[in-house]
Amino acid sequence: MILRFLTMAMAVFLLSAPGETRAESPIFSARDGIALGGYDVVAFFEQQRAIAGDQDHALMWKGVVWHFVSAQNQSRFEANPRAYAPVFGGYCAYAMSQGYLAPGDPQLWLVEEGQLYLLNNSSVHRVWQQERGDLLVQAQGHWPAVLRD
């Protein structure tokens, strides 16, 4: 068991980019390999709205393809992807607080304290807004272990 763990840990270390650790390598929800259903993650921060990206402005990061509306947004992401990447890998933040995975909907989102959260439906979007503090603590307790369940 210990040998298996050490072998897996070494493989993760060797496959990581220089300077990265496993804790810095989140796993993102990506239908058909495309993060956020093709929406531009930078637009949530810079334009304060959900905008579908263009495959002409795309790049691979952390094993998924990210689309952007412009070369400028793509450059911003490339300069600091962790500043724009959604919390909890783009999965629904409310579902994460309850200990399960559900896809996040790019049309139901919030940027709070510089972090992007996706929600799954309008009901949980309202609940998240009202009870964010407690739910965030619960969600953090489940992430990323819920990926292995």
Query: For 21-45, how does the pLDDT look when each residue is reduced to its tens digit (9 = 90+)?
Result: 344 444 899 989 999 999 999 999 9
Based on the fold, state whether residues 59 and 97 are members of the same structural domain. Answer: no
* pLDDT tens sequence across 124-141: 999 999 999 999 999 999
Say what the pTM is. 0.81
The pLDDT of residue 149: 76
* pLDDT tens sequence across 56-106: 999 999 999 999 999 999 999 999 999 999 999 999 999 999 999 999 999
Question: Which residues face 44 on adjacent strands?
Answer: none
Based on the fold, state whether residues 131 and 93 are members of the same structural domain. Answer: yes
- Note down the domain range covering 91: 86-149
Domains held by the chain: number: 2
Query: 36 lies in a domain?
Result: yes
What type of residue is 80?
A: N
Examine the pLDDT at 16 and tell me if it is beyond 90: no
Starting at the earlier edge strand, list the strands of the sheet with 54-61.
30-31, 34-35, 64-68, 54-61
Based on the fold, state whether residues 77 and 123 are members of the same structural domain. Answer: no
The pLDDT of residue 138: 98
Residue where a domain stops, chosen among 85, 109, 134: 85
H helix or E strand, kind and range, residue 55:
strand 54-61
Query: 5 lies in a domain?
Result: no
Surface-to-core class of residue 29, CB atoms within 10 Å of its CB (0-12 exposed, 13-18 middle, 19+ buried): buried
CA-wise closest residue to 43 among 88, 107, 87: 107
Based on the fold, state whether residues 47 and 78 are members of the same structural domain. Answer: yes
Based on the fold, state whether residues 116 and 138 are members of the same structural domain. Answer: yes
Based on the fold, state whether residues 46 and 68 are members of the same structural domain. Answer: yes
